[in-house]
Copies of this chain bind each other. A is one copy, B any other.
């Protein structure tokens, strides 16, 4: 990689990692970093110190992220995922007043915290909780509103995984087939001898370095190929995500252990498009946005060739993300109609290999979990499973409690390992409350 490209990638690395650099003043808390109070992008034009630009990675730099994540489409090319003409299916309201006061103990902590406190600890931008399909709790912070198309980051993966699982349940996609049956171009890449199932469950042994402190890491080559960050002037890398996937090598064996690599989802999105003969945005419209009475259009980040960023580019409204979760909770049914095959939902909720997941060792906040069809499965006594994106994006489905949580956040840290301690026990505590169980 040429020198300038390395510098650009290094800048992207620092911005994306959320790591606190040496000598940096202590990071602002949620109240101090409130994006409405900080005045980002106010003024015509905004003053230099209020401006957020892709070109200097401002959209990926805390605390500007507290504004940019709610306005993400301004920093990227995108395609519409439109709701069409279906009437909005309103979510009934049955708000509860006892949720803010729920107490729980953060993972690894000793002091109790309330649900209300967790929202600022987590830099929550918006959160909605459904119980039996009714909104029992809903809050927005900063510049986020019910109309915001907030970036969902890797929550996107679970939408792609649900499409793939649906095609499998319909008999159109064979998970046991080699990926090359559907995308022959991948033969020469590290995916060449992987199965679709290994891609779906992220057990491929591809050489894809997602280490955010390494400026040459593949995750940054990926971002440059997609055009998601400013390219160095001498950029000569692949154009688009599909061209990028062809450059990925192999490292280790397929099928042995879970390793979270965004490239798997981009490969899966490619497979889904080849199998269905449709572009991903059209599938999201035809199968979800035009079927679930969504109240807002969504946007999807695309690269310079028109390919969506299946690994992390969806920008939905919060309540629509909750509607999707509610359809999942109901076994794929919505308003009495089967929207996603029941077999697809069952294949997700049963979970993946716990052994392969445990081998990874990088998920201390997720003991006993597994990964299946791009969903994170808890295997807890409520059967909870989740869609998860960096900086705190989440759909959390608790079948036993008949509960769905959708959350947007702009936590300074990218990894959910920093966010789970004050999230997962809060969600579990609310789930227990809803089924009348006592706290642990």
Contacts and interface: CB of A to CB of B under 8 A. Distances in A.
B75 A77 contact: yes
Nearest to A240: B45
Interface string A170-197: 0000000000000000000000000000
Contacts of A297: 80, 82, 296-297
Given A73-B79, A74-B79, A74-B302, 7 more contacts: A41-B306, A45-B306, A51-B306, A73-B78, A77-B77, A80-B149, A82-B296
Contact of A78 (B53, B74, B296, B307): B74
Contact of A306 (B74, B76, B149): B74
A93 interface: no
Contacts of A77: 54, 73-77
Nearest to A285: B147
A273 interface: yes
A85 B295 contact: yes
Interface string A49-75: 001111100000000000000010111
Nearest to A149: B80
A299 interface: yes
Contacts of A295: 85
Contacts of A75: 77
Q: How large is the interface on A (under 10, 10 to 19, 20 to 34, 35 or more residues)?
A: 35 or more
A270 interface: yes
A117 interface: no
A305 interface: yes
Contacts of A52: 306
Query: How many monomers of this chain does the complex have?
Result: 2
B55 A304 contact: yes
Interface in A398-430: none
A139 interface: no
A27 interface: no
A44 interface: yes
A382 interface: no
A279 B78 contact: no
A78 B73 CA distance: 7
Contacts of A440: none
A270 B43 CA distance: 10
Interface in A354-410: none
Nearest to A276: B44
Contact of A53 (B84, B279, B304): B304
Contacts of A74: 77-79, 302, 306
A439 interface: no
Q: Point out which of A76, A279, A295 has the most chain B C-beta atoms below 10 A from its C-beta.
A: A279
A295 to B, nearest CB: 7
